[in-house]
Structure 1
Amino acid sequence: MPEGMAPQETYRLPKDVVPEHYDLKIWTDLEDLVFSGIVEVSLRVSTDTSKIVLNSLALDLSDVYVSSETLQNTQKPSSIDFDDTNQRVLFTFPTTLPADSKARLSIAFKASINTQLMGYYKSTGGNDVKTVYALTQFQPTAARRAFPCWDEPGFKATFAITMISRKDTVNISNMPIASEEPYTPDSQLEQGSWTAKKFASLAEPSQWKITKFETTPPMSSYIIAYANGPFEFLESSYTSTLSGKVRPLRFYGTAEAVPYAQFALDTMVKIMPIYEQMFDIEFPLPKLDLFGADDFDLGGMENWGLIICRTQYLLHDPTTNDIQNKQSIASMVGHEVAHMWFGDITTMEWWDNLYLNEGFATLNGNGLTSSLHETMALKGVSRVWPEWKADAEFLGSSFFRARQLDAKLSSHPVEVECPDADSILQIFDALSYAKAASVLRMLSSHVGEDLFLKGVSTYLKKHLYKNAVTKDLWEGIQGSTGLDIPKIMDSWIKQMGYPVLTVTEKEDGIHIRQDRFLETGPPADKDNATVWTIPLSILTTGEDGKPVVQKHIFDTREKFFPLDTSKPFKLNADTTGFYAVRYSAQRLVKLGQTAAAPDSPFSLSDRIGLVWDAFALAKAGYAPVSSAFGLISMLRDEKEYFVWDTIASNLAEIASTWYENPEVVELLDAFRRDLFVPVVERLGLSFAPTDSPNDHQLRTLATEQAAIAEDAKVVEELKSWYAYFVETGDDVKIHSELQGITYRIGVQEGGRPEWELAQKVSSTPRSPSQVVASLTALGASKDLGLAEETFQYARTEVRDQDIHRCLFGLQRNPRTRRFLAERVKFYFDELEKRYAGTFNFKRFIEISFQSLSSEEDYEATAAFFKGRDTSAYDQALNQSLDNIKTRAAWVERSTKELKTWLEQRTVIES
């Protein structure tokens, strides 16, 4: 066992008694906000034992019995011991259960319907935000808050769920309804049963109903789901291309959400048959539903047969043609539907293999979200909407986001030990999702997509309804390719970090050396031990000038590759390899010239990769900042949105890093205006149905960048739109695609009336997009008094799931960034108590501290957390501290050079 790792028995449930089937009955009372129930679990006993250990947290348990088929007896526990630290309960029984026997455990439970966004909790919707309903969120370890269970992914069992609720509500769960009937005195209830006793105690039992669902296939507890409330639905279906079966597909939500859900439902209709063909496995459940939740801690959750997502990520206004909103929805749906195979049919054995779920789901959507399922989401959505150029989008949303995180000393391997609930929560990050998706994309590119998908299909088929570990996936792909997949992939999955390849040109080729890339600069020897097995692709050109790709395996520290360097060449063709490339200054100029040429052999993804690498190397001190600026100057005639988005993202990071140096920011803004204002002038501010997706998105981006860089004409136009909204209450002048930047400029350039309008819109929005736009805009005010009101509004009135949007608005405002850090420190104990154990708390840490840029900020932040128990968020904290230190070092190292280049550019162009 590796040094420092805890033995599994200290954090994993024993396997001497395992569940095979659950009969779960849940009684929901939305008026009193309580639930109760009984769970009866069919058990398989493998060794003699008088003890049964399972998970339970924050539940009031009673009426515990175990019956043994072998002993033909029923017994109560002689003792019940709760372990709140490990979130378990231990039942000790007077008589030993014999080995190789069957038993049945029965437990009654009850609890309040909480507001903590986990377990079985309350949400509110409707136009008046008063429609109350209850729903579940169990991933990763919250099923134990809703019913006692073996709440680990490796304990798969079947579930038969019954819900008892008021008769004017709707019940939904993983499986279709088997029967539903109002309670009457003639209802078939077992005499003396828990349900019969509950009805007998009611004043008006006729106001209730009983909903029984079909039994599930074997599945893990964290993907069980159910909800109760006044829901409505849209319905469609798809026809399986494998069997010809027609399966119903539905969207559920509160009444006001349903008119905006058609696009999400249509996406599911289109993508289901594609996934079936891709994996050669038919979706095994009789139905699949989407549920739009008003309060939800995650973006989406892949509960088998009942996907739950935030309404903001599922709803589209059909009167608009907001391409980015459609892409976001398609990404979310593609990602979660891919999980129906990756994670639900075949599930990781333990959370250290989370990427077997997340990596594939991302690659299967369109790359707008997460890893194995992310990999498939990318491939799936690309087949439905090729014009969206999802592979290029993946680079900005996932690939480089993962590289930024993995370039820190505080990174962690994709496959990482998870000994407790806190550590499990923390691994839901860009490494488990985006790095995993990226290295799987790299592998797919190296072996070829057809063989990759054949191996993935083999892996799934071999482990249907079972659990899997890393070697199972590699065996599947190895079988289809004949390659040593563990040798290629182990360094990417088991080791943190990634390499930078330094290219030195020789007479007959190139010499390449690999070293670990760190954003703090060249690594010390102790941090440079890994030699990666790199699927290396080198793009060259043939006699006709067309691109030719050479593929190699580069698994040594350095190596020479024969190459004609008189012709254009580029490492990392299509930017599929998870590594950076460092060229000489002269070669980088030639690469920029080739990239800018009308007949360039470099693909869209190649050009994106060149820009990202140039800025990453400059940030880490491997290259001067001027080299990156010189590259993008050569690309000013670029027409592709995704290249411009890459340029904008990197310039925004520089502006954010130097936010306390107004002289640099002013010079940088002038450069940004020179780049983006001509694009605005070419495309205009009006959207048309005939716009290509590229022009549609590029117009939005260029307008945002021109406004942020304080172009007077664009700012005045956006101000006038928002002013009309303030004066009339009518937002007709604000294009939906420019809603975010219009609200931001309106509040930033206005006063209290403009701020109050954004606050009003956030509390009574007409569409989900207004929520996002208004909440983030609240933090844009130049008035610190309004900044304080924004913080207090977020703390006391905003939905828990949306608080981070207000904080993000304060963080991106240079005038309020340090103010935000200080307010979060002041209220930290309150926030920790309120949000500990949720995904939200990690976001607070990141948003509040990671964008500070001075050594003083680093010291002050580190000092604040010194002496605190940070075990529940230490990864986010350490990554934020690393970020501050890196930015401070960059400012110290490059301010003079950056200012000089920007000044000289201004002189030359004038």
Structure 2
Amino acid sequence: MTARGTLAVRHILKPKPKSTWPPSISNARWRNPHPLSSSSHDTSRFRVASSYHHKPLLLRPCSFHHRPPVSASDMSSEKPVDHYRLPTDLLPRHYALTIRTDLVKEKFTGFVKIDLDVRKATKVVAFNAAAELKLGPASLVLDSSASVFTPTETNFDAATQRASLTFAEELPAGAKVTLYIGFETQLKDSMTGYYKSTWDKGIYALTQFEPTDARRALPCWDEPLYKATFSVTLISRKDTVSLSNMPERADVAVANEHTEALFEGVKDGSWYATTFETTPPMSTYLLAFANGEFVHLESSYKSPLSGKVRPLRIYATPDAIGQAQYALDIKEKALPLYEQAFDIEYPLPKLDTLVANDFDAGAMENWGLITGRTTAYLVDPENADIAAKKRIAGTQSHEVAHMWFGNITTMKWWDNLYLNEGFATLMGEKIILDKIHPEWKVDADFINTHLSAALRLDAKLSSHPIEVEVPDAGQIGQIFDALSYSKAASVLRMLSKYVGEEKFLKGVSLYLKKHLYSNTVSRNLWEGIGEETGLDIPKIMDIWVSKMGFPVITVTETPTGIKVRQDRFLEDGPAKPEDNETIWSVPLGLVTASSSGQAIVDNSAILETREAEFKLDTSKPFKINADANGVYRVLYTPARLAAIAKEAAKPDSIFSLNDRIGLVHDAFALAKSGHLSLSAALNLVHELRSESEFLVWDSIGANLAGITHTWWEDDKVTQRLKAFRRALCGPLVQKLGLDYSKSDSADITQLRTLAVGGAAIAEDPATIDVLLDRFAKYIAGDTSAIPVDLLLITFCTAVKHNGAPAYDAVLKFFENPQTPSIKVAAIYGLTSPTDPALLARTFELLLSSVRNQDLISFFRGLATNPKAIIALRDFFEKNYDLIYNRLEMTFSFSSIVQSVYTGFAKEEDRTKAEAFFKDKDIRKYNQALAQALDGINAKAAFVKRSTVDVLTWLEKWENVPRATL
């Protein structure tokens, strides 16, 4: 064995003398066809990035020709050549994994024994391993004869993150073999793989493997189709807690001849070995483990299907655990609801959640061990704001949904990511959450949060289909976007509304039951829902998931009714013929009024051609897309839209809450694209000025903010828009006040927060004075002076108007936040200065003390500050290499690129951006960049088209009685 600090690996037999494998890690030399540095092991993602992301030719593909993996039942079928997928010659069945985590030395070492089925005779064993994972000697044992194979050649391809072992003897088809290999690497703050997170008393370690980062922690077949079982042993220093997907086994783990060095210190009690039960078959991206000074809260739930009681826990560091109860409560409520909805019992013996201080995404659905960032799971139990509670409840419910969608049944490849994320979004943030918190009106909220986000992104030429080809694993992270989540969920919601939610869920249950512990594609889902409903689901749905974009339905009135026409909707203007070839199956959802004035909804009509006519009494109110269930925009004539607006404004209107929200979003999107005048959209808002529902005001506020951000360089427009927003928000503030009561409904609480925020942003003097007064009392020690729901807008207002003293105070809250809500408020407060000197301090902060996970929040905040937009671009471009190196492997970098450039609205700004990225390797964020540049084009066209219109309308509004506009 080797000394502690290096990898100790023994083989059943000694390697052959001529083997290229070395006896220890310290001198191992994997042959790298495309070396990225002078040493094949000195290739951490941060160091490598600076040497290659400007030189794409260094990552040219090697000469291997591999077929994509298939399940055992598909092994005989031929597949297209695909360099980026592992060959299908071998299938992993079980991983026996031992990991030794040293939090003092910030490193981990490991050994894995992988049982493999040989599906096709081969001399080459290829698997995934990241460049920074240092691999030790390996051997392969033929189980039937105990024959030991050692490789005659080893290769590593950095471009595909693939290692390959070549053997002198062929492994026979049908054989079962076992691969033995050790590994080690450092614990880094990368938020990918097995990484370190910091807290007040040190560090702890946890995993984040989705989509392709299990290979950063162990050699494996890191593709979702390669499901296998895992038995995990974690060796750690005493007085720490180890966690994994499954419960801890009662028996004590012992070393074997391969792992004895990893067990050093276990016998004398200075280290502890924890072995966990074997998992069900699952994909590598769902494997999880963690080690640190964790404490937990515990609850349980009783299965409504079997009566079994399962423990539920939430883990965090001791300083944070007191704020974790609410997330645990949501999990306890959600699990039985999912079991009832799918008629499938949660299969694991426990479900834990681990709260992490450093986390790239919001949360991750590791089977049996959900992980996520503090803002996704922690809230002050005594003083919780609704925004935080909604975020936590939606996140927890979303991740629990994945226990079925993604974990039990998994997409075959990432092109069907929506089968995981779209479903988890629909189920977790709409269907199940509505049962837990019906007072939140989550179906209507879905329109604001998901449908509108999906349609904004999908209105770009740089969009992509829901079901999108992603052969290159390096680009998979880009499709974790509003299309895979929000558009997919919106399309599934549209189908659910069309066939009925009960039948939809029964069909989904059939789909899940038929494909338990296996992998699926879209047709499997359509078959399940079709079996339950008797409908031709592929005819309705295939086009929605296979083609990008969505239609705008143009409504014109005829003597006998209406004529409707569908064309692709684009944000910068009518689609050209070559971009307008798709014909969707569009459920029209027609709302009309009965003779008694009641709403009648006809869900039977589907538009399956370019144009069609429908009989209708147009003398009565009507509307297309009832409840905004459809994934499309609707364009009426200005006269008809005005009539719909007047009807929508009535207290007894036939148009529902959802209808009114959808009308607002449609009007502003159609104004931006040039289908409708912006003045018509503003008229709609003016008509709805007496609206009482928070979610309608939320849609109004978001769209008016979008208009303000488009014209941020035009003082004439922005000042008049502020006056208009003051006139809308002022009466609401006067009516609702700035004080909160526990007896207030969720709707009233949220409407008050929105109104105060809108008034402050619009520079209403009275509102600003109250907020500044409360801020002064708050920093003087009276923490009751600012209701938690107003923390963010108060911090932003104080920094904007009181300058350096307020900035210094908010900075202290950022450096030592007592709750995640305070931290979020402080981050956005620090992005709010108008003083260039204070903005410079924020930029310096980004380079020094801001955690990697928080960079995106700072960038988003700065991107909405008109005084910071240009400075943010300059900062990003000056520090591009540093920021890229910090975030290269995360989801965040693409979002940062979008934040930096989508604020601009001039063609010359697009030209500048294109020039900056001309010599950059943009493959990991090319979609995000294209979408940002498309956004500049659309805004530039909008400004050219509508500046006169918006000024004319606002001037008229200023000079005529409000009620007669």
Give TM-score, length-normalised by structure 1: 0.96
Q: In structure 2, what is the equivalent of residue 189 of structure 1?
A: 255
Pick from 194, 202, 206 the counterpart of residue 120 of structure 1: 194
SS in structure 2 opposite 1:804?
Answer: helix
SS in structure 2 opposite 1:123?
Answer: strand
Maintained 8 Å contact 2:82/2:471? no
Q: In structure 2, what is the equivalent of residue 91 of structure 1?
A: 165
Q: In structure 2, what is the equivalent of residue 370 of structure 1?
A: none
- Over the aligned positions, Cα root-mean-square deviation in angstroms equals 1.3
Maintained 8 Å contact 1:289/1:307? yes
CA distance in 2: counterparts of 1:520 and 1:596, whole angstroms: 30
Confirm whether residue 510 of structure 1 aligns to residue 558 of structure 2.
no
Query: Structure 2 counterpart of 1:707, which letter?
Result: A
Maintained 8 Å contact 1:163/1:171? yes
SS in structure 2 opposite 1:362?
Answer: helix
Q: How many residues align?
A: 882
Pick from 38, 48, 54 the counterpart of residue 121 of structure 2: 48
Maintained 8 Å contact 1:488/1:535? no
CA distance in 2: counterparts of 1:158 and 1:854, whole angstroms: 54
Confirm whether residue 579 of structure 1 aligns to residue 632 of structure 2.
yes
Confirm whether residue 108 of structure 1 aligns to residue 179 of structure 2.
no
Confirm whether residue 408 of structure 1 aligns to residue 472 of structure 2.
no
Maintained 8 Å contact 2:499/2:533? yes
CA distance in 2: counterparts of 1:867 and 1:326, whole angstroms: 44
**Structure 1 residues 270 and 198: CA distance shift in structure 2, 3 A:** closer
Mapping of 1:235-634 within 5 angstroms?
235-366=298-429, 378-550=430-602, 551-634=604-687
Q: In structure 2, what is the equivalent of residue 833 of structure 1?
A: 885
CA distance in 2: counterparts of 1:834 and 1:723, whole angstroms: 37
Note the C-alpha offset of 1:297. 0.4
Maintained 8 Å contact 1:19/1:156? yes
Any gaps of 5 or more consecutive residues in structure 2? 1-78
**Structure 1 residues 314 and 422: CA distance shift in structure 2, 3 A:** same
Mapping of 1:756-795 within 5 angstroms?
756-795=808-847
SS in structure 1 opposite 2:426?
Answer: coil
Query: Structure 2 counterpart of 1:231, which letter?
Result: F
Maintained 8 Å contact 2:255/2:263? no
Confirm whether residue 813 of structure 1 aligns to residue 877 of structure 2.
no
CA distance in 1: counterparts of 2:266 and 2:523, whole angstroms: 58
CA distance in 2: counterparts of 1:330 and 1:62, whole angstroms: 44
Deviations along 1:260-319, one digit per CA (max 9) or x if unpaired, are 111100001111100000001000000001111100000010000100011111111111
Query: Structure 2 counterpart of 1:749, which letter?
Result: H
Note the C-alpha offset of 1:164. 0.3
Deviations along 1:412-467, one digit per CA (max 9) or x if unpaired, are 00011111122201000000000000000000001111111111000000000000
CA distance in 1: counterparts of 2:80 and 2:878, whole angstroms: 39
CA distance in 2: counterparts of 1:773 and 1:738, whole angstroms: 9
Note the C-alpha offset of 1:188. 4.0
CA distance in 2: counterparts of 1:79 and 1:179, whole angstroms: 42
Q: In structure 2, what is the equivalent of residue 69 of structure 1?
A: 143
Maintained 8 Å contact 1:321/1:689? no
Confirm whether residue 145 of structure 1 aligns to residue 216 of structure 2.
yes
Maintained 8 Å contact 2:86/2:126? yes
Deviations along 1:739-770, one digit per CA (max 9) or x if unpaired, are 00000001111122211222221111111111
Confirm whether residue 662 of structure 1 aligns to residue 712 of structure 2.
no
CA distance in 2: counterparts of 1:147 and 1:27, whole angstroms: 12
CA distance in 2: counterparts of 1:572 and 1:324, whole angstroms: 29
Note the C-alpha offset of 1:724. 2.6
Q: In structure 2, what is the equivalent of residue 27 of structure 1?
A: 100
Pick from 74, 77, 82 the counterpart of residue 9 of structure 1: 82
SS in structure 2 opposite 1:141?
Answer: coil
Note the C-alpha offset of 1:204. 8.9
Q: In structure 2, what is the equivalent of residue 719 of structure 1?
A: 772
CA distance in 2: counterparts of 1:11 and 1:822, whole angstroms: 36
Q: In structure 1, what is the equivalent of residue 924 of structure 2?
A: 872
Maintained 8 Å contact 1:501/1:581? yes
SS in structure 2 opposite 1:497?
Answer: coil
Identity of aligned residues (%): 50
Query: Structure 1 counterpart of 2:88, which letter?
Result: K
Deviations along 1:151-210, one digit per CA (max 9) or x if unpaired, are 0000000000000001110001100001375xxxxx7433xx23323345x599521011
Give TM-score, length-normalised by structure 2: 0.90
Query: Structure 2 counterpart of 1:88, which letter?
Result: R
SS in structure 1 opposite 2:359?
Answer: coil
Note the C-alpha offset of 1:784. 0.7
Note the C-alpha offset of 1:729. 4.5
Deviations along 1:539-579, one digit per CA (max 9) or x if unpaired, are 11222222111121211000001111111110000000001
Deviations along 1:823-843, one digit per CA (max 9) or x if unpaired, are 101111222222212111112
Maintained 8 Å contact 1:180/1:209? no
Confirm whether residue 155 of structure 1 aligns to residue 207 of structure 2.
no
Pick from 735, 743, 749 the counterpart of residue 801 of structure 2: 749
CA distance in 2: counterparts of 1:8 and 1:142, whole angstroms: 24
CA distance in 2: counterparts of 1:611 and 1:314, whole angstroms: 32
CA distance in 1: counterparts of 2:166 and 2:814, whole angstroms: 52
SS in structure 2 opposite 1:177?
Answer: coil
Maintained 8 Å contact 1:175/1:216? yes
CA distance in 1: counterparts of 2:236 and 2:618, whole angstroms: 73
Query: Structure 1 counterpart of 2:476, which letter?
Result: I
Mapping of 1:679-690 within 5 angstroms?
679-690=732-743
SS in structure 2 opposite 1:365?
Answer: helix
Q: In structure 2, what is the equivalent of residue 369 of structure 1?
A: none
CA distance in 2: counterparts of 1:855 and 1:20, whole angstroms: 55
Query: Structure 1 counterpart of 2:852, which letter?
Result: D
CA distance in 2: counterparts of 1:333 and 1:7, whole angstroms: 39
Query: Structure 1 counterpart of 2:262, which letter?
Result: K
Maintained 8 Å contact 1:512/1:559? yes
Mapping of 1:837-876 within 5 angstroms?
837-876=889-928
CA distance in 2: counterparts of 1:856 and 1:47, whole angstroms: 57
CA distance in 1: counterparts of 2:311 and 2:266, whole angstroms: 38
Q: Report which stretch shifted further, 29-38 or 852-861.
A: 852-861
CA distance in 2: counterparts of 1:203 and 1:13, whole angstroms: 38
Maintained 8 Å contact 1:20/1:156? yes
Question: Which has the higher relative contact order, 1 or 2, with Cα contacts under 8 A spaced 6 or more apart?
Answer: 2
Maintained 8 Å contact 2:470/2:476? yes
Q: In structure 2, what is the equivalent of residue 696 of structure 1?
A: 749
CA distance in 1: counterparts of 2:909 and 2:162, whole angstroms: 41
CA distance in 1: counterparts of 2:198 and 2:383, whole angstroms: 26
SS in structure 1 opposite 2:428?
Answer: coil
Q: In structure 1, what is the equivalent of residue 43 of structure 2?
A: none
Maintained 8 Å contact 2:398/2:427? yes
Confirm whether residue 676 of structure 1 aligns to residue 747 of structure 2.
no
Note the C-alpha offset of 1:72. 2.6
Confirm whether residue 82 of structure 1 aligns to residue 156 of structure 2.
yes
CA distance in 2: counterparts of 1:715 and 1:610, whole angstroms: 31
Note the C-alpha offset of 1:730. 4.3
CA distance in 2: counterparts of 1:331 and 1:296, whole angstroms: 17
CA distance in 2: counterparts of 1:440 and 1:877, whole angstroms: 28
CA distance in 2: counterparts of 1:844 and 1:267, whole angstroms: 31
Deviations along 1:317-341, one digit per CA (max 9) or x if unpaired, are 1112422211111100010000000
CA distance in 2: counterparts of 1:130 and 1:858, whole angstroms: 46
Q: Report which stretch shifted further, 837-846 or 228-237.
A: 837-846
Note the C-alpha offset of 1:7. 4.4
Query: Structure 1 counterpart of 2:123, which letter?
Result: S
SS in structure 2 opposite 1:343?
Answer: coil
Note the C-alpha offset of 1:731. 3.2
SS in structure 2 opposite 1:189?
Answer: coil
Q: In structure 2, what is the equivalent of residue 230 of structure 1?
A: 293
